[in-house]
Structure 1
Amino acid sequence: MMWSSIANLKENLNKIALDVHDDDDDEELEIYNSHNREDSSLSDRRISHNFAHSKSGSYSPVANGFDSPYNSEIEQYKSEIKRLQESEAEIKALSVNYAALLKEKEDHISRLNEENGSLKQNLEATNAALSRNESFKTSTNSLNVLKGTSDQSPNRQHKAMVRNRSIGNQTHNGVVSKQDGLSNGIAYSMQPDVIQSNMESKRSNYQSTEKELADLLEEKNRSLAAIQATHELQLKQQGMELEKERGKLANIQLKLQEEQKFNGSFREELKSLEVDKDKTSMEISKLHDELNGKISETRRLQMELKRREDAEADNIVEDLKRVIATLEKENRNLKVDFFVPSYICL
């Protein structure tokens, strides 16, 4: 299309040059046939008018037939590239926003993971405390058994000692040994009851404490399980949202790559158009030079034609003057010839 326009331009220029030469030839024939200066001046005006018309027409196809559509096409490509650049900037801004949102979601998920880890640590600590409580209960039971055994053995030793002492006292004083035996028997009979009551009170206190700890542990386990389930649900939701955002970001990045590829193709096409424009400009400049050469040649021919017309007009005037002088001379001779015989006759 571009080279066809250049070919059409060349053809139009050649037609204009041929028209100029044809007009010059027609005017030259008309001048040679008329032999009149007034007609010569009229032909000069016609030649100058045709030359001005041909000169104005020689530049109009260049100005209106090629540059205007080409420039409009370049402007259209530039506007399209500008729109693509704006779209690319918007996509980059969206990708930055999505990256920040993903970073925020990842931070939130990491915080949830930390909270979940701390809850697990608390649960493990509670379980450890419960196991320690169970071990303490076991050790306390074993201690109570050992204590009961140790309490019974000193009582037996004390009973034996009392018996020995009672026997010794009976040798010294029968009444005193009898009273000592009664007192030792009362003490021996009262001591296991006190120990048993103390053990029962301690056991009841321990059982109540153990029940409170078990209730507290169960309640804490329920709350931890509920919190853990909530955190796991939130973590799952955040993971799903994160996957969605990653999918959106991948689509945006794919669209950005397509836009960049499309923009690159437009830039390559614009570059090729600019190269073609430079070639066309060089070709048009060459055509302008050729046209200027033809115009200069036309002007030279016009000047030569005018010089010939002036010289020929001068020759015609001189010939006319000579003819007039000859006619006047012949007229005088005729008058002389006419009047002399008449005078002789008279």
Structure 2
Amino acid sequence: MEHGATRATPLTRIIDAALQRDGGWISFDRFMALALYAPGLGYYANASRKFGHMPSSGSDFVTAPELTPLFGRTLAVQVAEALDKTGTDEVWEFGAGSGALALQLLDALGERIARYRIVDLSGSLRERQQQTLAGHADKVEWLAELPEAMRGVVVGNEVLDAMPVQLLARAGGQWFERGVIRQGDGFAWEDRPTALRPPVEIEGAHDYLTEIHPQAEAFIATLADRLKQGAAFFIDYGFPEAEYYHPQRHMGTVMCHRSHAADGDPLADVGDKDITAHVNFTGIALEGQNAGFEVLGYCSQARFLLNAGLLEPMAQAAQPERILAARLVHEHEMGELFKVIGFAVGAPWDAVGFAEGDRSHTL
């Protein structure tokens, strides 16, 4: 099968060691976890720049908070409401990237936040976040893992898509798990028969490649177990189950990002580029509910930001800022592909971000 040639690096040697331990084959989620998070070497654990507007900055992709501070200022409206409704004064952010969103929320919410806790696996990103957030150093705290008990409002922007996924391939009517082997100077795909299945039946007999998301779903279940009081909001690209596992979506959603270009070969240039998969929001919602969360709402990013009042600061902004902010809501940019899901501990309320255009019924 096709494979990506790759130069030998400390990271590929770690993957080779994992292959050796497991008889020459590892599942894709294990490969993705090492490629992204191997300490000091994986993509999110090394010192490359990652976040920024343009390739000339040495960055690989732009996220909404990097695009415009209006993203965080608008999200802050929903966070403030959630802090009030839940009687909490802490914000928790997962995968805080460059620290841009944290800065926007801290600036916008001021005294409303007593503590801002960042849970991030990446030491190099933590250094960048500390520089960005130096003005709020008295409030910010970093953790490498979830504590046993938490209270507050949780935010995660583009964090679920970076959680490792397992690949399932249907060929000739049979289901296989697609894993990774060593082949010559690179890595290659190899499919092995499996009892694993997508959460819904895929209509038709055609060959089909897709993902399942046990790690993201387990993360939501753990969060629901440990968040004793508060709410959580996750913003990411993805679909409800019926769209995710549509018969026509037969190539899967795994993509790589580097220098603001996308490619479909996660086996090449390992550690030098991002690997992501779209989010199955139905699975996330069900896992949250099963673990005790109440779903506050689910809608497009565009609808959420407009509900939370984006238009007014946009109208007051200078034209270059308005153009960037428009990318957050335009259907062909981030407005429709990106979705927002909200959870509450205890009784839900009519959250401002889901006031109109809530699509929870599609989950």
Q: Which has the higher contact order (CA 8 A, sep 6+)?
A: 1
Q: Same fold (TM over 0.5)?
A: no
Which of the two has greater helix per residue? Answer: 1
- TM-score class, shorter-chain normalisation, is under 0.3
Which of the two has greater strand per residue? Answer: 2
Q: TM-score, normalised by structure 2?
A: 0.16
